Amino acid sequence: MSIKKYSKGIDKSSPFFKGDGNTVKNGDIVKQPQLTKTLKGIKNNGPNYFYDKLAKHLTTELNGQIDKTDFNNYKSKQKKPSETKYLNTHVYSSSNPLGGGLMLQGLKLDEMLNNGQSDEQYLNSVLSGRDLMYSNRDIVNAKTNFSQEYLSNMYISNKYNNQNTSDSISDNSVKKTSTLHFVVVDKQGQMTSTTNTLSGYFGSGKYMDEGFYMNNSMTNFSDNKDSNNYHAKNTVPRSYISPTIIVGPDYYMGIGSPGGNKIPTILNEVIIDYLRGNGSLQDSIYKPRFYNDGNTVHFEKGMNKKYLDILQNQGYNIKEEKDNPNFGSVQAGIYHIKNKKTEIANDVGTR
């Protein structure tokens, strides 16, 4: 359904479309020989295969929009994750220019506002966390490193006490249906938590002979010249993706989700609910989600009626949403150290 809904105006030469231009259907087998060849080439020949051989093909296909110099000048960077303690765990997430630091701010605020004793505290924690993260969004950029100072109790307390609820979260209108997350655990118990995004369901809509769509992330820059996220040469735009690993006393967990600027809030809801002992990880993922845009709280069908009553009594407008990708698709895995067993939990089939 989503492929058909979001496929207008995009290149349909990919394996996700049939010869007549119609999309593949649920249950169809999709083979991707071009992508297989590309990935095998990188696996067998290393980075030079991409930056040399593939770069030549890509620059030709893109008619010079990207040239060989762009590939030569690009350098991948290894960065330390943003990290904090939350309850009895240590949480690691992505650093600038990604949104992991904002997600961790939400967890830190939850510890300050929520002692786990009331639904009011939980709701206030999540909604205040989203306001805090949005008002703080400019700390996420490619020009500066994410500072651990942003996760100090003093910084978060000052920001919380001095912030105003946003009348409207301006990039809320863009429904992000272009991101996926996966967690991998190998036989030795090593874990990766990975989020990938095209910034648009089919990215820029341009399908390459090498078997993939070009992303559309350049649209994530700010037009405000005073913003650290303003477009400039040799930089990349802000993204809210927050691949996360949580280390507990006898386990570690990988978790992440799509959802655009809702990603930190989506993960806050699931992580807070699970680590505060409100059921299994799958239970926490299945629960209906919500997020605030100014004074309106958007929620999924099945939301706890008590929650809705509390929100209305607090003066919020409430709005049920249907077929809304802004509620994400959480994928998670837990590795239990003692018995070396892996537990999986996900949104597959529910959202």
What single DSSP character describes residue 23?
Answer: B
Q: Is the pLDDT of residue 82 over 70?
A: yes
- Rounded (10°) angle between helices 263-275 and 100-113: 40
Does pTM surpass 0.75?
A: yes
pLDDT tens digits, one per residue of 84-118: 999 999 999 999 999 999 999 999 999 999 998 89
Q: Do the Cβ atoms of 261 and 134 come closer than 8 Å?
A: yes
Q: Which of 26, 312, 56, 345 is nearest to 208 (CA)?
A: 56
The whole-number pLDDT of residue 26 equals: 82
| Residue-range domain boundaries for the chain | 82-175+238-346
Distance CA 137, CA 228 (A): 10
What single DSSP character describes residue 257?
Answer: -
Return the exposure string of 98-126: e unless at least 16 CB atoms fall within 10 Å of the residue's CB, then b: bbbbbbbbbbbbbbebbeeeeebebbbbb
In terms of pLDDT, which residue wins out, 33 or 167? 33
User: What SS3 string covers 145-185?
Assistant: CCCHHHHCHHHHHHHHHHCCCCCCCHHHHCCCCCEEEEEEE
List C-alpha distances in Å: 270 to 1, 7, 143, 184: 26, 30, 31, 19
Mean pLDDT for the stretch of residues 255-259: 95
CATH tag for 82-175+238-346 (out of 3.40.190.10, 3.40.462.10, 3.40.50.300, 3.60.20.40): 3.60.20.40
Percentage of the chain lying above the pLDDT 90 cut: 62
Distance CA 155, CA 49 (A): 45
Q: Is the pLDDT of residue 140 over 70?
A: yes
In terms of pLDDT, which residue wins out, 123 or 68? 123
Q: Tell me how far the alpha carbon of residue 157 is from its chain's centroid.
A: 25
Return the exposure string of 230-267: e unless at least 16 CB atoms fall within 10 Å of the residue's CB, then b: beeeeebbbbbbbbbbbebeeebbbbbbbbbbbbbbbb
Question: 249: number of CA atoms within 13 Å, CB side?
Answer: 3
The whole-number pLDDT of residue 295 equals: 93
Q: Do the Cβ atoms of 208 and 202 come closer than 8 Å?
A: no
The token pair at 142 is 């490619």
